[in-house]
Chains A and B, each alone.
Chain A
Amino acid sequence: METVVKGMASGGVGGFPPASDIDTGVIPIRASGRGMLQVAVDETRRSALVNAPVKARVEALSFHYGPTRALDDLNLEIREKQVTALIGPSGCGKSTFLRCFNRMHDLTAGARYEGRIMLLPEQMNLIGADIDPIEVRMRIGMVFQKPNPFPKSVYENVAYGLRIRGVRSQLRLREEVERALRGAALWDEVKDRLAGSALSLSGGQQQRLCIARALATSPEILLFDEPTSALDPIATARIEELIAALREQVTVLIVTHNMQQAARVSDYTAFMYLGRLIEFDETSTIFTNPARKATEDYITGRYG
C-alpha cells in the first residue's frame, strides 16, 4: 500500500509544496450573486505549521524482532516544537516506532534496525551503531504508560538525570529541579514536600513528576507512550494541557489509543497499520477529511 504523506512532494521546503503552490489565501467569492470580490483568508496558523523546521527525519526505517518485521519502510518528518501523534490499532507498530527514537530495543534479543532516524540540525542518526544510547536518551526523553517514579524523594527523582550528567552544584540542581517541576505544572503542588516520597503522590502527579524528570535534562524530543491510559479524566486533562504547553520548548511525539486525545493535542497525526505508515498529515485534515479509506475506517470506528 502506498503511503499518503501530504506535503512530501518534491521541491518544497521541509516537505511542503513550494511557496508558489501554496494557496495565497485569496479566493474569489460571489457577493450576493451579482459580482466578484476578493477576500483574504487568515492563513496564519497554517503558515506557522508550514514554517516549523524539521527536527527528525525518518528515512526508510524498518525494524525486526527476530524474523518478525514490525516496522516496514517508514518515511516521515517530525517538525520542531510541534506535537505529532501516532495512532493505529493495537499491534500496528506505533509503540515500536516510538521506542526506536530512544533506542529502547537495543537490549531485545534479535532486534534489528534498518534505515535511519536523523536528528536535525546536526544529522545525527539516532539508531546508528556508533551512537551511544545513553547520549540519545539524554536528548530524547520518554514518559511511559504507567507512572514509574523512582522510590526516592520528589526532588531526587528530578535531580537524578542531572546528577548523572555530572551536575554537582546544589544551587544549580535546585534551580533546574524547580524549572523542570514548573515546566511539568507540578511545582505548586509539591514545592512544600520535595523531600517526601514520590510514591506518595497521586497517579496524575506521579505522571507529571515523570514528565519533570524527563524535562530536567532539557531533551530536544519528548516521547509519550500512552501517557494517560492509567489516569482519570481530570488528570488526563491536566496532562493534555501540559503537552500543549510543552510545545513551547520541546518537540513531542505521542502514541495514543484515544483518538480524541490525538485530535485535541497534536498538530500532526500519523496513522499506522500493520507496521506501515498509511497516512501522515495535519491533524485537522486527518480528523475531518482523511485521504485514505483505511484511515477513515479507523478513526470513524468502522471495520474495513
Chain B
Amino acid sequence: MSTEGLGHHISSRYNEDLERLRSSVLEMGGMVERQLTQAIRGITEPDASMIVEVAQEELRINQLERSIDEDCSRILATRAPTASDLRLIITILKTITDLERIGDEGEKVAAIAARLGMRERPTNRYRELRNLGEVVSEMLHDTLDAFARLDTELALAVVRRDRVVDEEYEAIHRQSITFMMEDPRSIRRALDVMWVVRSLERIGDHAKNVCEYLIYLVHGKDVRHTRIEEIEKELHASKG
C-alpha cells in the first residue's frame, strides 16, 4: 500500500476520517518528539521551566491518545474496515500506545534531568547520556517520518539501530558500576544516570515497535519477535 492509496474510497467521509486519524497520529508523534528533545536538552543545559513544559505536553499527549482511540473505535463500529484499512486502524491503535509510553519515559527523563541539574556535574558533562539521547531522538524522528511516508526501508533502518542502543545501554551500565566501585559518593548520581539510560533504551524499544507495526501495515506481515535478518529476507522475498 502507499500513501496515495489511503484515499479513493467511494465514501468521501471515510477518506476524510482516515486522513484525519493519520494526521492526528503524526501530530501526537510530533508532540512526543518535542517533549523528548526538551527532556534530553535538560540533561546538559539545566532549565527550570523545562520540567513544567514537559509535564504539560504529557497531558496534551494523553488527551490526544484518548481522542484517537475513540475515533478508531467509531470507525471500527461504523465502517467495519477491511484489508489495508483494517491494518491502518490496528496499526494506529497500537502505535499510539507506544507513543504515549515514550511520552511517559520522556517525562521521567525530564524529572531526573532536573535533579541532576541541581547537583555538581561530572567532568564529561554527561556526554554519554547526550549521545544516547541523540541516537534515540533520531530513531523516533525517523519512525515518524517512516510513518508519514509509509517508508518501510526507513522503518527497517530504525529496527536495526535498536541494537546500537542496546549495546550503548550495556556500556553505560558497566561504566556506572565502575564509577560506583571507585567512589561510593558517586552512587546516587550513577543511579540517576542509569534511570535515564533505562528510559532512553525503553524509548528505543517503543520506536522499534512502531516500525514493526508499520511493516505490518504496508506488507501485511507480522514481524514482531523476529530476527532482523529474517525480516529483511521476508520483505525482499515478498517484493521479488
- Quick check: B82 and A259 within 8 Å, CB to CB? yes
- Quick check: B8 and A296 within 8 Å, CB to CB? no
- Quick check: A300 and B82 within 8 Å, CB to CB? yes
Picked from A27, A259, A290, A302, the residue with its CB within 8 Å of the CB of B226 is A27
Taking CB atoms, residues of chain A closer than 8 Å to B11 are: 301
Number of contacting residues on B, CB 8 A? 21
How close is B232's CB to chain A, nearest CB, in angstroms?
14
Taking CB atoms, residues of chain A closer than 8 Å to B86 are: 287-288
Q: Tell me the nearest residue of chain A to B221, going by C-beta.
A: A289
Taking CB atoms, residues of chain B closer than 8 Å to A302 are: 8-10
Picked from B83, B166, B225, the residue with its CB within 8 Å of the CB of A299 is B83
Interface check A29, CB cutoff 8 A: yes
Picked from B9, B166, B227, B230, the residue with its CB within 8 Å of the CB of A300 is B9
Interface 1/0 per residue, B1-38 and A, CB below 8 Å: 00000001111001000000000000000000000000
- Quick check: B226 and A300 within 8 Å, CB to CB? no
- Quick check: B9 and A289 within 8 Å, CB to CB? no
Give complex CA distance A287, B83 in Å. Answer: 5
Picked from A30, A33, A301, the residue with its CB within 8 Å of the CB of B9 is A301
Picked from B14, B80, B166, the residue with its CB within 8 Å of the CB of A33 is B166
Give complex CA distance A264, B205 in Å. Answer: 36
Give complex CA distance A295, B220 in Å. Answer: 15
Taking CB atoms, residues of chain B closer than 8 Å to A30 are: 225-227
What is the count of residue pairs linking A and B with beta-carbon distances less than 8 angstroms?
50
Taking CB atoms, residues of chain A closer than 8 Å to B130 are: none
Interface check A263, CB cutoff 8 A: yes
Interface check B87, CB cutoff 8 A: yes
Taking CB atoms, residues of chain A closer than 8 Å to B162 are: 33
- Quick check: A287 and B227 within 8 Å, CB to CB? no
- Quick check: B227 and A289 within 8 Å, CB to CB? no
- Quick check: B220 and A300 within 8 Å, CB to CB? no
Give complex CA distance A205, B81 in Å. Answer: 31
Would you list which residues of chain A between 28 and 77 have a CB under 8 Å from chain B? Answer: 28-30, 33, 36
How close is B26's CB to chain A, nearest CB, in angstroms?
22
Taking CB atoms, residues of chain B closer than 8 Å to A33 are: 162, 166, 205
Picked from B9, B80, B220, the residue with its CB within 8 Å of the CB of A260 is B80
- Quick check: A288 and B220 within 8 Å, CB to CB? yes
A301-B10, A301-B14, A302-B10 given; A288·B87 CB < 8 A: yes
How close is A72's CB to chain B, nearest CB, in angstroms?
25
How close is B99's CB to chain A, nearest CB, in angstroms?
20
Interface check B85, CB cutoff 8 A: yes
Would you list which residues of chain B between 160 and 197 have a CB under 8 Å from chain A? Answer: 162, 166
Q: Tell me the nearest residue of chain A to B165, going by C-beta.
A: A33
Q: Find the residue from A28, A36, A263, A289 having the highest chain B CB count within 10 A.
A: A289
Picked from A28, A36, A296, A303, the residue with its CB within 8 Å of the CB of B83 is A296
Would you list which residues of chain B between 59 and 94 have a CB under 8 Å from chain A? Answer: 80-87
Give complex CA distance A287, B81 in Å. Answer: 9
Taking CB atoms, residues of chain A closer than 8 Å to B205 are: 33
Q: Tell me the nearest residue of chain A to B201, going by C-beta.
A: A33
Give complex CA distance A30, B230 in Å. Answer: 12
Would you list which residues of chain A between 259 and 304 have a CB under 8 Å from chain B? Answer: 259-260, 263, 287-290, 295-297, 299-303
Give complex CA distance A260, B220 in Å. Answer: 20
- Quick check: B225 and A300 within 8 Å, CB to CB? no
Give complex CA distance A289, B227 in Å. Answer: 22
Picked from B8, B87, B225, the residue with its CB within 8 Å of the CB of A29 is B225
Q: Tell me the nearest residue of chain A to B162, going by C-beta.
A: A33
A296-B83, A299-B82, A300-B81 given; A28·B230 CB < 8 A: yes
Give complex CA distance A33, B164 in Å. Answer: 12
Give complex CA distance A260, B230 in Å. Answer: 34
Taking CB atoms, residues of chain B closer than 8 Å to A301 are: 9-11, 14
A30-B225, A289-B220 given; A300·B80 CB < 8 A: no
- Quick check: B226 and A28 within 8 Å, CB to CB? yes
Q: Tell me the nearest residue of chain B to A31, going by C-beta.
A: B225
Besides A33-B166, A33-B205, A288-B220, 20 more A-B contacts (Cβ < 8 Å) are: A27-B226, A28-B230, A29-B225, A29-B226, A263-B82, A287-B82, A289-B83, A289-B87, A289-B220, A290-B83, A299-B82, A300-B81, A300-B84, A300-B85, A301-B9, A301-B10, A301-B11, A302-B8, A302-B10, A303-B10
The 10 closest A-B CB pairs, nearest first, are A289-B220, A29-B225, A302-B8, A299-B82, A300-B85, A296-B83, A287-B82, A300-B83, A302-B9, A301-B9
CB-defined A-B contacts under 8 Å, sample of 8: A28-B227, A29-B226, A30-B225, A36-B227, A288-B220, A296-B83, A296-B84, A301-B9
Which B positions have Cβ atoms within 8 angstroms of A?
Answer: 8-11, 14, 80-87, 162, 166, 205, 220, 225-227, 230
